[in-house]
Structure 1
Amino acid sequence: MTASPDDARHLTFTTLDQLWSSGAPMMLPIEGDPPCRLRLDPRNGLITLITAYEKPEPEVANLLNVGFDAVSSGEEDLAELTVRIAGNVHGAYGLLATIADQLQVQKLPLAVAVAAGVARHREVLAGRGALTTEKEVGLFGELLFLEFLIPVMGAGPAIAAWQGPLSEEHDFTLGSVDVEVKTTSGDGRRHVIHGMDQLVAVRGVPLSLLSIQLTRSAPDWGRTLPQLIAQIRSLAGGHQVAVDAKLDTFGWRTADADLYPTSWVLRNEPRAYAVRGDFPLMTPDVVGPVIPSFGLISDVSYRLDLTHLEYDSLPYPLADFAEAKEN
């Protein structure tokens, strides 16, 4: 039974608009069992359904603009399901009214009632979703290098050198060298190269591939992605706006920070590999001459295993980030 303006159990949208525009908070009971109330909070842009608490709790962690709390009121345990209004007060109200109907009319358990209401009102909600583990690890590696660069170069130059994923440049352009950062959580230095141009030097600037290996750790030993981002923002000072803009291009959203519980730590020292001479790679210059109609090929990715390849050193003042080259 879905709430609508004609449903006598609920407000019409006209009445809802009048109450909402008044700006005054209020509590609206919904007749039935279990008892349900709707709390309107126009000033803060929130509508909350309050009802009896029961387990299992509804799963709303992957929904943007929806929150759930279990609260105690005297001897009573209550469930509070809150929707933050995102320009659609009718949709938010309709969602919570539908959940109340599922509880009181259909007699569904709380978690089932919420799931049924969400299924009927998907348009109210924006889905939350973490980056894939591959993208999380990749961003973590770039931020580790940025964290190193800021005290070495200064926040402004270091952040300007970080290009972000939408740039046609390499990950870091540092004047004397470009750096392409590749990060893996595997036990070997196996990295995916996206496209045959990713390891092509540009503007005649030498290019190094920086290989970083991470491993999961206990919270006391490592850091989560949100913790590393918080540190970068702190180091950035007045350049935080530029950091945030580049984080946006990765798909990072601060509101989703709770979706990244994994703590990461370096598995071993990073290593740098100069992309020159006999470095193994596929580029248009290398592959093009041996493949007929080469121009018809696109979207090429390949995996490099650098585990046992001889490594190099980064130039000063970057050298301290990576393992020193063996003599």
Structure 2
Amino acid sequence: MSPIEAAGVLGVSPSATRDEVLQAYAARLSEAGADDTRRDALTAARDALLAATSWHLPGPPAPVEPQQGPSEQRQAPTAPQLPQQPPTTPPSQPAQPSPSQQPIFPQPTFAPPAPRHSASPSGPHPGGPYPGGPYPGYPQAVPPQPGPPYAGPAAPGPWYPGPPARRRLSTGAIVGITVGGIAAGLVILLVMVFAITSIGDSTRRLAESGSSSSAPYAPPSDTPSSGPSDGSTDPATEDYDVDGVHVHYVDGWTFELTPTQSCVGATITAGFADSVDGDTLDEWTVTADLKAGVPYELTIPDSASTHQYVGIDSIDCTQT
């Protein structure tokens, strides 16, 4: 805010003294009441005028020798100036010749002396008159035009708080974040190792259970045989014994059972799986009468299970 604008807000002259500015500010502040916008404008005007009054001389200017003002110098004609007479010599020195005895020489013409004090472009000269100051006996100088407002650093006031300072993370917070990230990485690594170990153990158990099965499995065949079956030469369908009964694979899901002793109402259990050495996933049971040394042909229906491989798991003979 310029001094002229500030003077208009407070209702004083731009060249008012400090006391006049403070009195006008107190009067206008009481009239503003609780209007914060008006109070802020009055405070800004007061600060601008107080900053402008700091350039004025606090008291009356020091007396200076009478000299012609700039306006009078321009109007008065230039007249030759007589040289100043030398000071009176003391009695011990020889007497100087009187003016009538001195030779006559043409009088030189001197220019009028320049003012002792002059204002520099940057401001008033130390000890010299300030711009716009009153001088007795001299015409009033034209007051200087107000320049741009003083743009110095303003300290935060009660109505203009400064911005809050930014705070960096403390050392404890940085250490906590780092430790937390390392701990999270270790937890993820342990979970991955546990999952891989569990998968390996499951695969090993499935392989061991498949290799320990005593019943070979054969896939069912949908193509009928053109001649009598004489057994299969596939190593996976070799003959084997289950509970004292010799089991011979014939074809498809057909087996030939030859017991060593007769058994009435024997319970025959067939197991199903998805692979030759896989675990038993489904079972099918049938009751039959077996005679010692007589082959008994057992055909398991296709509707017994949806799995691909089948084998005789057990033959329970409760009666002989």
Q: Give the TM-score normalised by the residue count of structure 1.
A: 0.16
* More strand per residue: 1
Higher relative contact order at CA 8 Å, sep ≥6: structure 1 or structure 2? 1
Q: Give the TM-score normalised by the residue count of structure 2.
A: 0.16
**Structure number, greater radius of gyration:** 2
